[in-house]
Amino acid sequence: MKGEMLTIIGVLLAGGQSRRFGTHKAFAQLNGMFFWESSMNAMKRLTDQQVIISHPELVKVFQQYESYFVCTDDDNVVGKGPLAGMYTTMNHIMGEWYIFLSCDIPFISELVIKQLLRARNNKYLAIIPQVDGKIHPLIGVYHRSSFEYITSQLQNNELKLSALLQKMPVKYMSIEDMGVERKVFCNINSQEDYITLQSNDKI
C-alpha cells in the first residue's frame, strides 16, 4: 500500500478481542448504528483515506459494508494491543498525520476530530484529549514522526500508550479547548456499561 504521501489517514482500531465485553463490541449498536460506524463517521469526511485494523475473525464482516481498506496486525506485532495497529497502519500507508480511534466510543463526533486537527503544528507529534485528568490516546491525532517511537516501544515490549506519550512532545486538549461534552469520550468496556448506555444513552 505504500505510495504517494497522503495528508491525513483515518484509522479505526478494531482488532481487540473484547474479552471484557464478551463479543466483538465494534458491532454493538446505539440507536441503530454500530459502534464502529460512529468512529468512522466522525473522521471520514476529514481524511484522505480510511483504514480498519481488524481482528482476523472480522475482516470479511467489515468488508461487507463499504470498500474500506481492512487489514490485520503485521505478523511481527500480533497480540501487542493498540500499538500494533498503529504500527501496522504507518508501516503500510504513508501519511503526514494519522487519526486513531477505537471502536467503542459511540458518542464520538466529527467536531472532536476537527478540533484536534486544528491544533496541529510542528511542535507536537500527537494531539490528545485530556478530560478530568484522564488522557484518551485512542481518540488522537499522531504525526508520521511518531512511528519511530511506536516501533521502539514494540521492540522493547513496552505496550502502554501512556508510556509512548511520555516520550514524545504532545499537546493535550481539554473539553473546554474543544467545546464538546464529556460524554463523547465515554468508552464501553463491559456489558454493564452497554446496558446503562441502552437505558439512558449516557454513562
Q: Which residues are annotated as a binding site for GTP?
A: 13-15, 25, 73, 104
CB of 93 closer than 8 Å to CB of 1? yes
Task: For strands 6-14 and 69-71, give the pairing.
Answer: unpaired
Grid cell 504532545 — which residue? 170
| Residue with grid cell 512511528, as numbered in its chain | 147
Question: Which H, E and C letters describe 148-168, residue by residue?
Answer: HHHHHHHHCCCCCHHHHHHHC
The three-state secondary structure class of 39 is helix
Q: Which residues are annotated as a binding site?
A: 13-15, 25, 73, 104
Of 80, 52, 76, nearest to 65 by C-alpha is 52
User: CA 61, CA 35: separation in Å to the nearest integer?
Assistant: 14
Q: Which residues are annotated as a binding site for Mg(2+)?
A: 104
Cell output for 15: 482488532
Euclidean distance between CA atoms 116 and 173, whole angstroms: 8
